[in-house]
Amino acid sequence: MIIGLDMGTSITKASAIFFDGSVGHTASMRTTLIHGVNGAVEQDLEAVIESVAVVVREVAASASEPIDAVAITGQGDGLWLRDADGRAVRPMISWMDARASNIVENWNEGGDDSITRQVYRLTGSGMFPGSHAALLASLDATEPETLQRAAVAGYCIDAVIQRLTGRITVDASDASLPFLDVTTGEYVTEALALCGVEKWAHLLPTPTPSGTIFELNAVGSELLNLPVGTPITGGPYDLQACGIGSGTTRVGEGTLVVGTTLSCQVLTDDATIDPAADPAGMWLRTPTDGTYLRVMPSMVGTASIDWLLSLFGLAAQNLNDLLLSSPHGANGARSLSFFSPSGERAPFIEPFARGQFTGLQLRNTRADIVRALCEGLAFAARHCFEEMGLDGEVAACGGGLQSEAWAQIFADVLGRPLYLPLDSAVGSRGAALVAWTGLGSPVDEELWRSQRRRIEPDQRRAAAYNEAYATYRLELDAARMQWSRGQ
């Protein structure tokens, strides 16, 4: 048995993952996002560490067999600055943070010669306000003394690894955006220089492959109540771990993650960067040599639905009934789903992207408006997959797909079946699969892959959504012209 630990943006979960892919006891604990001025979104490292200790201890106490390892995945991006002992030198900055929006907007200027495009041509990564590059540049301008006190500029997973093992490291998937050449696993010095942060290159740890084995030290042992020397793995980070845990293991296949963010991914063996493409998304290194993960992570998924439901005094458990009470097409209501304060990062980069509803009439109900937003998010997913060249099955996971009606909307809009895992602990499953491989005991991937169900698209609705998608793209193009003018 492995304890899979998944540290999300607002909740930390641990699950007992068994060698046959089944999931046992799961424990969870909410963590707090601290919202400040100018779009700041931060987290307290000690609160995150506490949540890890609570959930791992609970799962360990329920274990009926020996624990082979603790396999860690979690949120990516952001900027988690620590000293040499793993203590915070300032609050951890979330990937949702918007303080660097103006920096990214300036980097976007200049057409083909813009900093954004130059970096994209070097690494294949699009930059957004919550990425390492923008946040390092922001602190370089506003808090250089903070960077001077830091020993490591990392991410959520490696911050926890450092506390549990004393090792300063970073998983290669986390390090991929925005400075890594994913084909070599080396940082691109020119990309750091373009962003004006080459002076802080020493803060970036040397990337290690997913599945690298570390060992719990005395501090970690006391925190988790597990023996010193217990194997610990960190990575890949949650977007990729969810794909692996959902069964996406073959080149050409995709994964749709409908969580706080809306992530679309395609597994590929070709990391060729198209210099003419919109500089959005990213390539990530994977645990398998010669394969890469092309990712288009839109900024908001269920976060926008939760926001809209709260405006109507409703909760997530009301979503399915609302969707069923409005027809496909939402009685003419339409939505662009770009509600993040820091704009959008996929399938295009636009720090000042803003959400909107159109086509509203007096006859529209709150169910229509909710369905319009759910359909808009499905259109955004289709846009991402088209940009990446999806050529295979699509696995789907995430809290949003607890709504069967919304899962059906995604299948209908994509016009292809969705394969949903039977258990929701997909991030922990993916991290555990990678950990067992690192331990030299690879699992039966076909057995794991079989543990999912299939949702078929309705061909009549799929045809109607094809027409609606064309309208969506026209309205999106018009909105992008306004955003580029700061409107």
Largest CA distance in the chain: 65
Nearest to 74 by CA among 124, 14, 22: 14
Output the CA–CA distances (angstroms, integers) from residue 224 to 54, 83, 106, 111, in the order listed: 8, 22, 45, 51
Q: How confident is the model at residue 485 (pLDDT cuts 50, 70, 90)?
A: confident
- Per DSSP bridges, beta strands 11-17 and 2-7 are antiparallel
Whole-number pLDDT of residue 80: 98
Do residues 338 and 451 both lie within one domain? yes
Among 241, 264, 290, residue at a domain's last position: 241
Do residues 236 and 345 both lie within one domain? no
The pLDDT of 201-221, averaged and rounded, is 97
User: Looking at 45-54, 108-117, 158-167, which range is the least confident one?
Assistant: 108-117
* pLDDT greater at residue 349 or residue 251: 251
The pLDDT of 35-39, averaged and rounded, is 94
The pLDDT of 47-56, averaged and rounded, is 98
CA angle 309, 310, 316 (to 5 degrees): 50
Percent above pLDDT 90 for the chain = 92
Among 206, 224, 241, residue at a domain's last position: 241
Q: How confident is the model at residue 316 (pLDDT cuts 50, 70, 90)?
A: very high
Model confidence at 486: pLDDT above 70: no
CB neighbours of 361 closer than 8 A, spacing ≥ 6?
Answer: 331, 332
Across the chain, what does the average pLDDT equal?
A: 95
Residue 340 lies in domain: 247-484
The pLDDT of 3-15, averaged and rounded, is 96
Q: How confident is the model at residue 156 (pLDDT cuts 50, 70, 90)?
A: very high
Whole-number pLDDT of residue 278: 85
Do residues 102 and 198 both lie within one domain? yes
Output the CA–CA distances (angstroms, integers) from residue 448 to 67, 108, 155, 282, in the order listed: 19, 43, 29, 27
Do residues 269 and 199 both lie within one domain? no
Number of domains in the chain: 2
Do residues 164 and 232 both lie within one domain? yes
C-beta of residue 72 within 8 angstroms of C-beta of residue 234: yes
Model confidence at 260: pLDDT above 80: yes
Do residues 285 and 226 both lie within one domain? no
CATH number of domain containing 334:
3.30.420.40
The pLDDT of 313-341, averaged and rounded, is 97
The secondary structure of residue 402, as a DSSP letter, is G
Nearest to 60 by CA among 13, 16, 6, 8: 16
Q: Does residue 66 have a cis peptide bond before it, meaning omega lies within 30 degrees of 0?
A: no
Residues shown for the chain: 487
Whole-number pLDDT of residue 351: 86
Do residues 76 and 183 both lie within one domain? yes
Do residues 203 and 292 both lie within one domain? no
Do residues 221 and 279 both lie within one domain? no
Do residues 477 and 430 both lie within one domain? yes
Whole-number pLDDT of residue 469: 98
Condensed to tens digits (0 to 9), the pLDDT of residues 268-311 reads 999 999 888 889 899 999 999 999 999 999 989 999 999 999 99
Do residues 141 and 51 both lie within one domain? yes
What CA–CA distance (Å, rounded) separates 394 from 392?
A: 7
Model confidence at 252: pLDDT above 80: yes
